[in-house]
Each structure stands twice: as C-alpha cells, then as structure tokens.
A and B are shown apart, each in its own frame.
Chain A
Amino acid sequence: MPPVISTAGLARTFRTKTGPVEAVRGIDLTVREGEILGFLGPNGAGKTTTLRMLTTLLKPTGGTATVAGCDLAADPVGVRRACGYVAQSGGVDGQISVREELVTQGRMYRLPKAEARARAEELAHELDLTDLLDRKTGALSGGQRRRLDIAMALTHRPKVLFLDEPTTGLDPGSRADLWALVRRLRDERGTTVFLTTHYLDEADALADRLVIVDEGVVVAEGTPSALKLEHAGSIDATLQDTFLAITGRGPAPADITPVAV
C-alpha cells in the first residue's frame, strides 16, 4: 500500500530583513495509512512550518510532497479535501455559537445545507459537545474548545488529521480524553494522525512512530522503543533523555549537592 503522506526534500526558506531564514531545509518522510505519527523537535525546528506546507497553507520553496494521493503543488484542492488541520490557536470566532461554526464549516466543505446541519449534530454527539451546541464558542472551557477545534477538522471525515500541539494548555483529564479520542479515530475510522507535541509522555503514549526534526531536517525516526535503544542506550530510557541525546542538547546535569562543612 502506498504511504498516505510522503515528502522528498520538502523545504521552506523565508525571506526576512536580515537575510534568508531556512526554516525547513529538506524533510524526507513517509506516513503509512492509519498510523499515528509523532512529529517532534525543539522550538523553531520547523515543525509548524512543515505542517503548514503539508496542509497547503504555505507554499514550499523546494521539494515535493503527496498527501492522500494528491500532489501538494499540482492539486492543493485535493489535499484540502483529504485533510483536517487543527492549528495551535484553534480557529473559531468567540462570538459565534458552536452550532453555527460547525454548520458553516460543513458548508465550506461543500455539504448541502441539511447535511451540514445533520453533520454538526453528529460531530457534537461524537465529541461530547451536544449540550454546548447553542453556546458561544468563547464561553467554552479549554478542553471543550479543543474538542470543538477537532470536530471542525473532522467535518468532512478526512483521511489525514494534522494536529499541531493539540494538548498544550489542557488539564490532565482533558489531555487523557484527547488521547483516547485520537486513538478511537484511528482504530474506528483508520484516520491517519500526524501530530506535533512538546510533551514527550504524549508522544510515547500515543505515537506508533516518531520523526524528530532539528534545524529543519529529520534527525531521527523510528518507534519510541527503537529510538530509546539506539540513542539513549536502553529500551528503558526515558524519551526525554533520548530526545536530548538526538537533538544534541545533552541531558540535564545531575544535581550538584553542596558539600556540607
């Protein structure tokens, strides 16, 4: 089976006042259908830029990519139809009700009116938002907002779901709920999930495979346990130490205990 996402040398250089900035230097990766991929890297490694390219928000300055069988450059509309994207900031207007946002989103994916209304109800049911449908999105809690953001991205039953730091700022209970939701999406619908995160416990618990980027290139990839064994010397190592070893930031120095006098 061909991979659902594959990129070759995907790159993006930004022109700034102080000269060109190579945010992404050349990413090669493949994601299999139904896989949960954890895309990790330090701040500024190029994670969000890569995500924005794969979702057609940003034109690559180099390389190629196909998403769900559609070429990124030649068929951006095809890519948009196949993908859902939840940005770090979400993307709903606080003055608008949950129902109106969901229905409008359905209409933007070209669902007929009645179907968009039915889909809004369905999504609300699946994501436990039914009681909140007529509330303004600005009145939702952080966890409820995140569920709404994901519902918005699932409106058109996408094959691939991109999540950019989906659990940042959530309480532990909401994080656990969101993990369960991501697993359920994959298990029940075979949705491929591409997620970035800074929480290594999240990557460890959720991802089938990790791709670690640093300074705009892939520096390591594999299952969490393979990476631990290879880079931190033991399958029992923490992903934290593995990550630090890979990105060359070195493990945190051990506590220096002051000598008692």
Chain B
Amino acid sequence: MRTNWSKTSLALLASAAMGLGATAQAADDCPLPGNLRVVIGSTSTGGDTYQNSSIVVDHLAEKLDINAKVDAVGAMAGFRALERSRHGNTVMIFHDQSYLGNLYGVNGYPDIFADYQIGPTVAINPGNAYLVPKDSPYQNLQEIIDAAGNGEQVRVAIQPGGVSEIGFSALKNAVRLQYPGQEGNIVAVNTGSQADKNQLLFDGAVDVINGSVQANEQYTQLPEDDQKAMRFVWLTAREDTIEQTNEAGMGDTSREQLLAYVAPNVSVPMNEGADENFTFDKEFFFLYNKDMDPAAIDCIDNALAEIYDEGGIQEQQKRSFFVPDFKPSAEAASYLEQKRDQYESIIDNLDG
C-alpha cells in the first residue's frame, strides 16, 4: 500500500509543479497571479521559441517575484489555453507564425489581431535561412531564380503555412517578377521538422531547404565531400538586424560572413520596380486573452521595460543569437498589424 500511496502523492506533487494547482497572487499593484503559465506555440524545447521564452520568462518572474513556467504545448493547444484564461493565469509567447498561419489559411489558426490582445515584442531571431548542399550547382540565390526562370525545376523543402513558407513565397514571387509565368518551377516539398528538411537534402530529394543559422551553421563547416555539408544562400533577416548580432556571429561563421547572405547582397525583389527587397525578421511577442485585465498588461509591459532598461537580458539574448527587440504592447500591436498586411500582399500576389 505504501507504494501506491507514494505514487499518488508524487502524481499530485507533479501536477502542482506543473502549475495546475496553487493560485497565489503577485504584488498588489500588479494583478497577475503568483503562478503564471506561459504557453508557447511550439512543442519543441530545443527550438528558438522555447529558448527565447525561457530567457524572457526567467527575467520576468524575477522582476515580478512570481513563479512562471514555460510549457511547450504547440500552437493549437496554446491558443486554446489562452482562450480559457480570462484572468491572466496563462499567457502565450509565439512569433510571426501566429498570423502567417492565418494568412496561409491553416486550419486552427485564428486572426490573432481580432481574437486576442497583442502583447509586447521581446526579440528577433535573425537566423531564418535557406541552404543548398555544399556541392550544389547553385552558387547563390540569383542562380536559383535564373534556373527556375529558365525552366529548371527547383525543389525547396519547407514546413507549410508559416515562417518557413514566407521566404519560399517571396522566392516564388521574385521568379514571377523576373520571369513571368515561370514561378511554378519553384516547387515546395512540404515537410516537418528541421531534421526532416535536412534529411531531404541528404537524400538529394530537394535542391534547397529552409533552415536556420543556429541549427545549420555547423553543417556549413563540414568538408564538401561530406554528404551532410551545406551552404547558406540566403538569410531573410534585414541587414540592419544582422548588424545588431554579436560580431563573432554564430559558431565559426562571423557576422561579416552572415551579412553576405542578406539583402541587398542577396536580391529578392518584392515589387515590379525591384526597388524593394523582401526581408523577414522572425519576431517573438506575447499574446493575451481578449479580456485580460489592462492593468495586468501594463504590469508586464512595465516590468519588461525595466528589464530591458537594466540591460542584462540583451547580453543573454545576444549570446544565443537573438536580437533584443522590446516594444510595449500598443506599439507592438500596430507594428505587427502593419507587418501582417505587408506579407499578406505578397501571398495575395502569388494567389492572384
């Protein structure tokens, strides 16, 4: 019997540890619960969303003197948890996928601007990248655009319906602008995780993959005769964003080298006049329940403002190749809405 009793006790303790139990209260002037659950839109604890959220949430918990835990529940479960949390016990941290999923019409992705409150932005991951095998005939992105324009099929491994697809859409749009009617030669091979995309490249089943500086940089250091060796051809981040990263860059690739893969060094025209290049910064921000207490929103805004003023978080984010990017809720909401509209037009161009 003792065995069963101890198992049961542990189960209850574990549930409590996961934030299913207590409801203490934070400071009086801040109507946040003492136990804050932060769900993220990714199920991975090895990815950038978890990493960045952990950094921000640790600082926030310390500043507000509350317990906060990041739960990697994924997008759908995260949105639902947010819907259920009117009193601010649960908040969400996610990135541009949250509205891009809606723009691409992915099932289960609501219009976040209508259904939730947009919270502050906290960081940019400037690492969204496109890579080819090291021995690929394509030396740069323009050669890929030209190849597609000249009737060659170029297969690109992406995860559909979000951050991974937006660069693909821009690439397709660039082919459409330079070689009208040939954009169909840029073909998406839909797949899932980064491991799956890498594997498709190793198999020779695709010509280009979407990846990231963080996850793929070590592969770019391998010798050319290694089946796993890759090369960057494009980083979607703005030049200005990459310039804010650590000078040392990532791994054995310096910031200077990374700058060679961003616009204007890599040209992905966005419109007919080719006067503007496509760029995309993957930004992380908070999402709240529509009915969340404005005082609680202000409380998080103010706490984060203080944290970013103190400066320690910036160093930590930069060490992990994030670019600190704090915008309070109101500013973040209008900024992200504009950003959404901009990418909507690219997607519409292709659909049309």
Asked if A and B are interacting partners, one says no
